[in-house]
Amino acid sequence: MTSDLQQFPQILTVAGIDSSGGAGINADVATAFAHHVYPATVVVAVTAQNTYGVQAATLLDAQIIEQQFASIADDLAIKAVKTGMLGDREHVEVVAKALANYDLGPIIIDPVMVAKGGSKLLTDDAITAVKEQLLPLATLVTPNLLEAQQLTGIEIKTPTDLVQAAKMLQTLGAKNVLIKGGHGTGDELTDYVLLADQSEFTLVNPRIDTIRTHGTGDTYAAAIASNLALGHDLTTAIKLAKSYLYATVADEIIVGHGHGPLNHWAKGE
């Protein structure tokens, strides 16, 4: 049901709640508001975590997840959707089915697998479901280096490996690929982007000497979704998101005693 009235830009995030507020749905909502975009949420998981790590997590029943999608699709005018923590195979399947069923605009798949402290946020047996059911729906997939390795089976050691992995992710069905370089070594971090038309570019930034990077992946994908909802093309959306993300790490705030959250009030380009 939609009216003729001009709808405010809206995105949907499908992910888990982080009790400490720095990652997951909490980061996505903060990012959307910072972009003057309205965030709707499908809660898949609830976690008990803080800046030291994840202490507990529980996944919601499939039925309430399906109902959240239906309620949102019945009323809101979602312009882009992003996924984050999905937990296990069953939940990947439920989310993939809903994403295929509703028109929610471009689909950004952030294949979250492990939190900064090392806790698993996706079971091993769910990786096949991500490959077979989510990647074919992805307008853009945004793995970090470890996730790209898990999804492709390619050990990424050189720039050639990176390109090979991105091509393999396209073969698996993702139209566009952004492999994030935050887990790389050295003073510079490089993200690699391979677009559907086979054009490519890198985004290089200095590594900021900080432990306050909790939620970087979520914030990046949510900023891309927000920029798409604002009407930017994918390349511009990625570049603006990267600039925002860098500012949120650089202009740090101190919350907690471990891997603290980002400053979502920071201003990018």
- Binding residues for ligand ADP, rule: CB under 6 A, are 144, 180-183, 189, 191, 205, 207-208, 210, 213, 216-217, 220, 245, 249
Q: How far is the CB of 111 from ligand LCLJCK34 (least distance, A)?
A: 9
Nearer to ligand ADP among residue 25 and residue 73 (C-beta): 25
Task: Verify binding: residue 18, ligand LCLJCK34, rule CB under 6 A.
Answer: yes
d(CA 161, CA 153) in angstroms, rounded, equals 11
Q: How far is the CB of 182 from ligand ADP (least distance, A)?
A: 2
β pairing state of 78-83 and 53-59? unpaired
Q: How far is the CB of 8 from ligand LCLJCK34 (least distance, A)?
A: 26
Binding-residue pattern over the window 119 to 158 for ligand LCLJCK34, x denoting contact by CB under 6 A: --x-------------------------------------
Task: Verify binding: residue 115, ligand LCLJCK34, rule CB under 6 A.
Answer: yes
Nearer to ligand ADP among residue 96 and residue 247 (C-beta): 247
The partner residues of 122 in beta bridges, in order of sequence, read 87
* Binding partner of residue 191 among ligand LCLJCK34, ligand ADP, none, CB cut-off 5 to 8 Å per kind: ligand ADP
Give the range of 4-12, 17-25, 70-78, 172-180 binding ligand LCLJCK34 by CB under 6 A: 17-25
Q: How far is the CB of 82 from ligand LCLJCK34 (least distance, A)?
A: 11
Binding-residue pattern over the window 195 to 214 for ligand LCLJCK34, x denoting contact by CB under 6 A: ------------------xx
Nearer to ligand LCLJCK34 among residue 72 and residue 122 (C-beta): 122
Q: How far is the CB of 180 from ligand ADP (least distance, A)?
A: 3
**Structure token digits, residue 137:** 């729906």
54-113 binders of ligand LCLJCK34 (CB under 6 A): 84-85, 112
**Structure token digits, residue 37:** 């975009």
d(CA 32, CA 12) in angstroms, rounded, equals 10
**What sign does the dihedral 82-85-91-92 (CA atoms) show?**
positive
The partner residues of 177 in beta bridges, in order of sequence, read 141, 194
Measured at CB, which residue is nearest to ligand LCLJCK34? 24
Q: What spatial distance separates the first Cα and last Cα of the chain, rounded to whole Å?
A: 36
Q: Which residues bind ligand LCLJCK34 (CB under 6 A)?
A: 15-16, 18, 23-24, 47, 84-85, 112, 115-116, 121, 213-218
